[in-house]
Structures are given as C-alpha cells and as structure tokens.
Amino acid sequence: MTIDQQAQQEAQPAEPQAEAQPASPTVASTEPAPQATQQTTPQPPTAQLSQQVEVQQQAQKYYLQFIATPASALNKMKVPLDFDVFESISIGRSPENVIVIPDSEVSRRHAVLSLSNGKLYIEDLNSTNGTYVYDGKLFQPVKGKQEIQANSIIKLGNSTIVKIVRE
C-alpha cells in the first residue's frame, strides 16, 4: 500500500462504526476490549473455568492458626506458611525452626510441613509427645509423612493445637 492510499483510507469517515457505537460512554470504554479478546481467542467454557480455578489456587496461601497453646499471646494468631521461601517448614521449640512454639511439651524439632505437587504434608520428627491430626472424632498420631488438608486440626505435644487455614 502506498502512502497516498494510506492517507485516503485514513481520510475516509468511519460512519458504519460510528452508528454501531452505543450512546453510553461507560459501555463503550469498558465492554469492547474484552469482547474483542474473546472473539479472537475462543476457548471452551471448561478451559476458561479450569484456568480461573488454577489462578485462584495459586493466589491462595496456607496459614497455621493457633487454637490453643500455653503461650496465650499466640492464640488465634495466624502464621503464614511461605513455601516459596522455605521448601519445608520446621516446627518446634528451638529457635532454629521456621515456626517456634514456646511450649515445654513441644520438642525442640517437633514436626515439619511440606508442600509437594499441590498437596500439603506433615511429618512428626520423632518428637517426645507426638504429633496428632484430628479425624473428626479423635486425634490420631501422625506416622511418617501424612497428607493433610486445609482446615486440618493438629495437636503438637499435649497442649498446643493449631489449624491449617487456606485463604
């Protein structure tokens, strides 16, 4: 296309487009861009839904929320579980842990939380007083590496109870 042809094309009025434009400026400024994108890259509704769910899952983070502990200042506190920074999150009484719990019945290195393939796991590190997961009726001892879910209630030792929260 020559420069003259481009100039002629730009000089022609775009009357059909002007008539098709809605009168409301808010609709014109917000609606056309998403419609154009959807028309040029159509996707089945299931693909769009799975992408939305994936984005929501990535945005959600895990927290450890204290339910009961001898250190009453910790009760109701939520501690973020940042698996982007720590591959595994150690829990115990010793200051070397990622999460330190000042409870004499929690071992120095009590348990570890890890995230693998989108699943959350807890493992007891041969603690003296044990790690337990509530099954809806009783606290069951953790043996080996055990998968846990959001809203799992965990007892560390005899008196510290925490909940895994996902937001």
* Per-residue pLDDT reduced to its tens digit, 110-126: 999 999 999 999 999 99
Which token pair is 127? 């603690």
Classify residue 47: in a domain, yes or no. Answer: no
Q: Do the domain assignments include residue 15?
A: no
Residue 30 counted as domain residue: no
Q: How many domains does the chain have?
A: 1
Q: Residue 142's domain spans which residues?
A: 70-166
* Average of per-residue pLDDT across 44-50: 59
Report yes or no on 111 lying in a domain: yes
Question: Domain of 142: which CATH number?
Answer: 2.60.200.20
For residues 27-36, give the mean pLDDT: 47
- Cα separation, 10 vs 73, whole angstroms: 70
Residue 104, φ and ψ in degrees, nearest 5: -65, -20
In a domain, 114, yes or no: yes
Task: Please state the pTM of the whole predicted model.
Answer: 0.65
Q: Is residue 118 part of a domain?
A: yes
Does 53 map to a domain?
Answer: no
Of the given ranges (35-49, 91-105, 111-125, 151-165), which has the lowest mean pLDDT? 35-49
Q: 111: closest CA among 68, 75, 77, 141?
A: 141
Please check the confidence at residue 26 and state whether its pLDDT lies above 90.
Answer: no
Q: Does residue 31 carry a pLDDT above 50?
A: no
Question: What residue type is assigned to position 84 of the chain?
Answer: D
36 is a domain residue:
no
Question: What tens digit of pLDDT does each residue of 98-113 get?
Answer: 999 999 999 999 999 9
> Does residue 63 contact residue 43 with C-beta atoms inside 8 Å?
no
